[in-house]
Chain A
Amino acid sequence: MTPEPDIRSKLLFHLQEVLAEDQLITAEEELRPYECDGLSAYKKLPIAIVLPETIEQVQQVMRICSRLFVPVVARGAGTGLSGGAMPHEGGIILGLSRFNKILEIDVDNQMARVQPGVTNLSITQAVRQYGLYYAPDPSSQIACSIGGNVAENSGGVHCLKYGLTVHNVLEVQMITVSGDRVTLGSAALDNPGYDLLGLITGSEGMLGIIVEVRVRLLPRPEKVNVILAAFNKTEHAAAAVAAIIADGIIPAGLEMMDKLAIQAAEDFARAGYPTDAEAILLCELDGSQAEVNEQSYLVKRQLKLKSASTITEADTPEQQARLWAGRKSAFPAVGRISPDYYCMDGTIPRHQIGHVLHRIHVLSQQFGLRVANVFHAGDGNLHPLILYDANIAGELEKAEQFGAEILKLSVDVGGTITGEHGVGNEKLDQMCYQFNDNELQFFHLVKEAFDPDQILNPGKAVPTLHRCAELGQMHVHHGKLPHPELPRF
């Protein structure tokens, strides 16, 4: 869909009126770096990239695009993994990278006001001197922007105890499609009216442009302990996860890796992982010295009861960093053992982990593709990495089909197709599986209330009913298969 030539020229004329020369990019070779986000399988070139520096400029850009019906795709750091920031061919990319200032650190109220292009990690770095930190910590935290985090409701390894982005953002300044500026939320602990802050979080750039964020900060815990447990059977590791939670403990982080992921990570990061184990669990506990001691005792007891073969503890920051290094570099590590990999993101109820890992194993054999599992076990958020080679004809399609099967499985066991990476451009078909027409229609109504002309990130996040009908797949809802007795492969 290329716009009318005169729309294009009108657009560029109006944009250059409100932007400085270096804020408007139209040369093809300079557009290239923006053709995709972290999911490079999908690429498109926009008409232009705009890089505003003031909120007024964002408002003007929105007014121009609304008037001309030109699609606008917001972009933070472009690390998204579902094609959310992939350009629209007939539209512009609104890059927020120049909004990179920390505006205010309020130590007494434990909050900070920041611009949307500020990276996740730089918030924590800026407030460290006050003994504070920003809790959600996606593995991409050195690069991803806080605006992108809000738009995706990003998680990290510490969400189990400290919540997702939605639990750690107090207020957002948003520019509506018509260029109005609205404040959602406040510096207080609750707010009157509709929870539009909650609604905007995770809305993938579909409802408005986030131009300022007030985040909640937490005091650094007095004591941290990291426990590494190895298992000879994946089911035992899965059972240990449920047992720890059932014992009344909420660890700060509870991560699991399977054999292939352990070996790749160990080769890459030399974290000291036992490479002969079928699975490992990394459990981080934090709080006061006394609380951590008590909890460590209880966790170790559960690990032993569930037949952990070895248990190691790291109680200095250096040892802990080493153990985490393996987990945090798992994606690039897997990237070294396979030409390509495809990362899935379903969430399932914890008690289904053993069953689902087993099913993934069976599917892996059926598709003839290897899978490395590395994931947030504590909150049931799986990241199976499907290994494939895009240079072999048909392998990408096979990987995509395999991925789709895993997501359906996640829905069938009572979970969801995406825990933190978003629907974007990638999981539109799987949305048809998780939601029925009435539900999708309801989402479209919300979109229409904010953006009646489909200017913001059109075509993403929620599939049209038409697309789902075309897909023509048997509709399964909330894990209730029409014919559960039939093999579904």
Chain B
Amino acid sequence: MTTENHLLEQVRSAISQRTPLYIQGGNSKAFYGNTVDTTLLLDTTSHTGVVDYMPSELCITVRAGTRLQDLEYILASEQQLLPFEPPVYTSASTIGGAVAAGLSGPRRPYSGAVRDAILGMKILTGHGTIIHVGGQVMKNVAGYDISRLMTGSLGTLGVILEVSLRVIPKPAHELTLAISRPHDEAINYFTRLRTSGLPITASCYLNDEIHLRLSGSTSYLQSLVKKQEGQVIEKADAFWQSIRNHTHDFFQQHDKPLWRLSVAPASTASARLNTDNLIEWGGGVRWISSNTPANIIHSIARKKGGYAVLFRGKIAGVNTFPEPEPALLALHKRLKHKLDPQPVFNPGRLYREL
């Protein structure tokens, strides 16, 4: 039996018995989202491999259980990469999990989020069918954009079997500059950078230092560095890996809950939270390790045009994601009910009601 048929049978049996499934790839993001109340596992990790890859089409189609590490290795051998640079929390992390979680890494403000790279999918549905949506080309408006709907839905609407992703050429060369700046100047600095024309592909602020990754040809970068302030750092790759994969010391302190605020990039730093511990994405993401009550953190993030997620650490009575407005929650519920009527897929993981 193919791995696809095996998954199909498990889902069909779950549907007929109305038993919820916990969909699991590498299990590297188990902490992300609410706990799912079931013991029945749907393991995608044996559903692996590249279905189609033609580098000049800038598209790769892979099975969901393919490890991110393996996928990146294959792309690198053709001088290409994933534009959204997803976190690889453990070597077991899969592309299916990365897409379902919808988390993007340092490159996101400069070459797009996970959802921006999605071209199409093969999905196992809550009706026990297998469907293809989207395709392998960038411009495609036939049918509703179901693949984007699946992206970031944390496995609550179906099982991603295969995904077609847009890939980009790997820059010829990269280097990273470190620039000292006091905390209260960081956001303004990032704002000015947005119109600087510099070929930035990653940015962050931590411990009074801004880090900027620049990408391009060697000669171009050399000429830029002469005009720029700051020091070219060594082991830049390792630095960005540690930010991307959360192996940096900053992410290793577990005494307080870790919040991720995704906000309008130029919005001011919050005096209420007294310090923005780590800033990423040119100001768009602020990581805060804090005991401030959840409702205050949510309110601050809303005022800055975004939202807050309780990323790591559990607080009694607090869900991972903020509750949407009633009319918006109602749309979520109706979609869930239509697409996963029993329901069998990851109940509660995204919102308790779903």
Residues of A participating in the B interface, judged by any CB pair closer than 8 Å: 106, 108-111, 131, 152-153, 155, 159-160, 163-164, 166-167, 176, 180-184, 186-196, 198-199, 201-203, 206-207, 219, 221-222, 242-243, 245-246, 248-250, 287-288, 290-291, 294, 347-351, 376, 379-381, 414-423, 427, 431, 434-436, 438-439, 441-443, 445-450, 461-462, 477-478
Contact = CB atoms under 8 A, between A and B. Distances in A.
B352 interface: no
Most chain B CB within 10 A, of A111, A196, A420, A442, is at A442
A198 B115 contact: yes
B194 A189 contact: no
Nearest to B58: A245
Interface in B97-143: 102, 104, 108-109, 112-113, 115-116, 125, 127, 129-133, 135-143
Nearest to A201: B145
A438 B58 contact: no
Contacts of B138: 159-160, 164, 347, 379-380
Interface centre among B141, B199, B327, B331 (most CB of A within 10 A): B141
Contacts of A207: 144
Nearest to A380: B137
A429 to B, nearest CB: 12
Q: Which residue, of B112, B142, B149, has the highest number of chain A Cβ atoms within 10 A? A: B142
B141 A153 contact: yes
Nearest to B191: A108
Nearest to B148: A198
A347 B139 contact: yes
A221 B108 CA distance: 20
A419 B137 contact: yes
Given A202-B141, A248-B169, A186 B151 contact: no
B195 A288 contact: no
B141 A193 contact: no
Interface in B302-345: 304-307, 309, 321-322, 324-325, 327-328, 330-332, 334-335, 337-339
B141 A419 contact: yes
B237 to A, nearest CB: 20
Given A159-B139, A416-B137, A462-B143, A176 B327 contact: yes
Given A193-B350, A478-B132, 13 more contacts: A189-B284, A194-B152, A199-B145, A203-B144, A248-B170, A351-B54, A351-B57, A418-B140, A441-B127, A446-B144, A447-B144, A450-B331, A477-B132
10 contacts: A110-B194, A167-B116, A189-B109, A189-B285, A194-B331, A196-B149, A349-B137, A351-B54, A415-B137, A419-B141
B197 interface: yes
Contacts of A445: 338-339
Contact of A419 (B108, B112, B140, B324): B140
Nearest to A111: B264
Contacts of A159: 138-139
Q: Kindly name the residue among B79, B138, B199, B325 whose own CB sees the greatest number of chain A CB atoms within 10 A.
A: B138
Interface of B: 54-59, 79, 102, 104, 108-109, 112-113, 115-116, 125, 127, 129-133, 135-146, 148-149, 151-153, 157, 168-170, 172, 191, 194-195, 197, 199, 216-217, 219-220, 223, 262-267, 281, 284-285, 304-307, 309, 321-322, 324-325, 327-328, 330-332, 334-335, 337-339, 350-351
Given A182-B331, A192-B309, A198 B145 contact: yes
B139 A219 contact: no
Given A190-B262, A442-B146, A288 B141 contact: no
B81 to A, nearest CB: 11
A245 B56 contact: yes
B56 A291 contact: no
Contact of A449 (B57, B267, B327, B334): B334
A194 B125 contact: no
* Among A160, A184, A445: residue with most chain B CB under 10 A: A445
Given A163-B116, A349-B136, A351-B56, A449 B335 contact: yes
A470 B339 CA distance: 26
A85 to B, nearest CB: 15
A431 B328 contact: no
B115 A414 contact: no
A207 B334 CA distance: 13
A422 B152 CA distance: 25
Given A418-B142, A446-B335, A193 B328 contact: yes
